[in-house]
Structure 1
């Protein structure tokens, strides 16, 4: 099965999860998750009990983190050059988050504020999903102009944690473009933080012909 074809979930498991969520939502409508979201949690967490607990944890996190009001945060204005949700989509219709590595410096940032900005980008990208067709995202790391000073390990860890705990099965593909030779010494460190399913979604793109298999190069920003 390709990365573009998510595995099916057991119909009985889905109904069981819906029944459990119904009781929660009747008490608090803000807890609602649609069927697409429930399926993502079931695929990621494998069984109904784990998926249900993960959803409750995500809902609590979203409330405590203030996800719905992040758009009003100063972090959005300050970190606008760190990542961008693109206007155009990849070749199968996924929203694209573009991250230019050269604009990052782990010695010159507030990790909490930057993480808020990344959450905001994830939220904006998810809103652009046509879930009936495709409900996953394309994340592009552009390593042009990359140096070791740009390598923010903590931010990468935070992104991996967010995708695994609170945006499960949202990552469709992660494209790494323009990677310099030095990145080959960094990738093994990052790779060990990824589970097998996520690691399979990471694609190193070496040339424009291969990039065109995923997206039209002209959609990538030139002003960041």
Structure 2
């Protein structure tokens, strides 16, 4: 084992494969005999993600994993079906894109201004459905996803500390190391103090994965080109696809995915067991093909969103990046061309202003 000191003088463990496997086995032994879906969930890859989230501390990772197993047994995220969340989805406030990034990661697009619900419970339920669907569609040897958050039309009524806090809790505690990158695209000036307010809810690793991008920043434009096929990327993020979200086509795609979900929990080669990215080889620019969920409608959101109170709005992005990144960044930064290592912060960086 070697150690790495981050920019914040936090010691990170860098283990050999044999040391990693020994800790995985130790966690498995601590969990005791598992059956059913708990047994399927606790693959070596899943245990490794929990260990990574807790800096390979066996006791903390075991506690975290037990809490997730309890949550999954009660919340039953894998049993959520489209019909249950369709109302939440109809404006396109969150959807899985029909493309992956050039590292093969599934992409969730989020549009806070398209919020159409005042129910925190409903919003989180739909977020969990989207997370499960994104995991279902991960390609071989990839275990992370990307969040693209479009702030066009965002205003104060879309801010909710309550929902954002719950989003961070679900993401960090029950989907550890699933998020590879979160890009906040064109966040407005008033978002700065809010981001500072919610920072305490974010673990350092999560916070460090949040990247800011601005359409008038040439460096950010190049990074988007390095990460995505620009012909498939939505125009809201600087891409060439101008067609809006089509709820009807998307619904059909999700219904087809729902049919695949039961098999995921009985297949030892499923995406639940994918080797974590820190021990796997990197992918090239594999991309998936599917019908484009777009129409010629002039509306940006699927339907007119209801006005929502400041306490009940759509969750905002929380996180993403490499597990070997420095875990205590003091500022969210514009991301570099390798999509994970922060570069000198832009003058537009919220953390530099507040």
Which TM-score band applies after superposition, normalised by the shorter structure?
Answer: 0.7 to 0.9
Change in CA separation of 1:52 and 1:140 when aligned onto 2, cut-off 3 Å: same
- What's the CA shift for 1:125? 0.5
Q: Is 2:115 the counterpart of 1:104?
A: yes
Give SS of 1:134's match. Answer: coil
Residue 158 of structure 1: aligned partner: 166
Q: Using the alignment, how far apart are the partners of 1:11 and 1:77 within structure 2?
A: 41
Q: Using the alignment, how far apart are the partners of 1:50 and 1:94 within structure 2?
A: 28
Residue 31 of structure 1: aligned partner: 38
Matches within 5 A, 1:122-133: 122-130=131-139, 133=141
- Tell me the matched-pair count: 213
Q: Using the alignment, how far apart are the partners of 1:69 and 1:29 within structure 2?
A: 14
Task: Determine which structure has the larger helix proportion and give its number.
Answer: 1
Q: Using the alignment, how far apart are the partners of 2:86 and 2:100 within structure 1?
A: 23
- What's the CA shift for 1:72? 5.3
Residue 24 of structure 2: aligned partner: 14
Give SS of 1:181's match. Answer: coil
CA radius of gyration, larger in: 2
Q: 2:224 aligns with which of 198, 211, 216?
A: 211
Q: CA RMSD in A?
A: 2.3
Q: Using the alignment, how far apart are the partners of 1:185 and 1:56 within structure 2?
A: 35
Residue 105 of structure 2: aligned partner: 94
Q: 1:61 aligns with which of 71, 76, 101?
A: 71
Structure 1, unpaired ranges of 5+: 2-6
Q: Using the alignment, how far apart are the partners of 1:206 and 1:198 within structure 2?
A: 21
Q: Using the alignment, how far apart are the partners of 1:114 and 1:133 within structure 2?
A: 30
Q: Using the alignment, how far apart are the partners of 1:51 and 1:182 within structure 2?
A: 37
Q: Using the alignment, how far apart are the partners of 1:139 and 1:72 within structure 2?
A: 20
Q: 2:193 aligns with which of 185, 189, 194?
A: 185
- What's the CA shift for 1:16? 1.5
Q: Using the alignment, how far apart are the partners of 1:124 and 1:66 within structure 2?
A: 14
Matches within 5 A, 1:48-87: 48-71=58-81, 74=84, 76-80=85-89, 81-87=92-98
Give SS of 1:160's match. Answer: helix
Residue 4 of structure 1: aligned partner: none
TM-score between the two structures when normalised by the length of structure 1: 0.85
Greater RCO (CA < 8 Å, at least 6 residues apart) = 2
Give SS of 1:191's match. Answer: helix
Task: Output one character per residue of 1:115-137: Cα deviation in whole Å (capped at 9) or x when no partner.
Answer: 1000000110111223x522111
Q: Using the alignment, how far apart are the partners of 2:146 and 2:190 within structure 1?
A: 24
- What's the CA shift for 1:192? 3.0
